[in-house]
């Protein structure tokens, strides 16, 4: 068996374990410098092209990220400003409501019962003076003023009686449905 066949058998695992073969110091291939450069160029050229492509892609992504961050920051400022404007508008509406004198909804059972009774009276009799309502409900003028202040002005109308400017009249507004 020659040294070469022993080396091949050793490399591929066919040689017996006790075979002691030394690697050959003789050159296997002979390549000139220009041939080696050409081989290296052929191997590295596709890699260099791929790396440049990835670098271009990375640069493009960096630009997109920068653009998105800028847009996000601007959007957050706009949104913050819009939220602030909305709260300002809500506060302004609250102040207008407070100034306009919208009555708060009646809460007490007696008050609600009296308002229901006023509704019944106005539906049955039509326009009625506050004095007459006080007499029917058996309440004092101060209580009547408090109840009238809590009435929903969308359903009731208060006006002065013709001929007697001091006498107030309460009537139901016409509801169009």
The full DSSP string for 91-104 is HHHHHHHHHHTPPP
Q: Give me the residue label for tokens 């008050």.
A: 111
pLDDT value of position 177:
64
CATH no. of 109-172: 1.10.10.10
pLDDT value of position 26:
73
State both tokens at 35: 């041939």
**How many CB atoms within 10 Å of residue 118?**
21
Q: Give the orientation angle of helix 141-150 with respect to helix 109-125, to 10 degrees.
A: 90
- Strand 156-161's sheet: what is its strand order? 128-129, 164-172, 156-161
pLDDT band of residue 118 (cuts 50, 70, 90) is: very high
- pLDDT tens readout for residues 5-48: 555 555 555 555 555 666 667 767 788 889 889 999 999 999 99
């Amino acid at each position: 068996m020659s040294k070469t066949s022993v080396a091949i058998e050793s490399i591929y695992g066919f040689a017996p374990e006790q075979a002691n073969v030394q690697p050959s110091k003789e050159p296997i291939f002979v390549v000139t410098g220009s041939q080696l450069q050409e081989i290296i160029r052929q191997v590295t050229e596709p890699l260099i092209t791929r790396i440049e492509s990835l670098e271009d892609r990375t640069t493009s992504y960096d630009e997109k990220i920068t653009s998105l961050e800028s847009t996000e920051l601007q959007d957050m400022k706009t949104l913050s400003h819009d939220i602030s404007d909305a709260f300002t508008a809500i506060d302004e509406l609250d102040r207008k409501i407070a100034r306009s004198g919208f009555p708060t909804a009646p809460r007490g059972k007696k008050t609600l019962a009296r308002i229901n009774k006023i509704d019944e009276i106005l539906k049955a009799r039509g326009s009625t003076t506050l004095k007459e309502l006080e007499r029917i409900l058996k309440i004092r003028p101060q209580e009547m003023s408090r109840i009238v202040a809590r009435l929903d002005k969308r359903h009731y109308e208060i006006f002065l009686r013709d001929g007697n400017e001091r006498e107030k009249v309460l009537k139901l507004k016409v509801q169009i449905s």
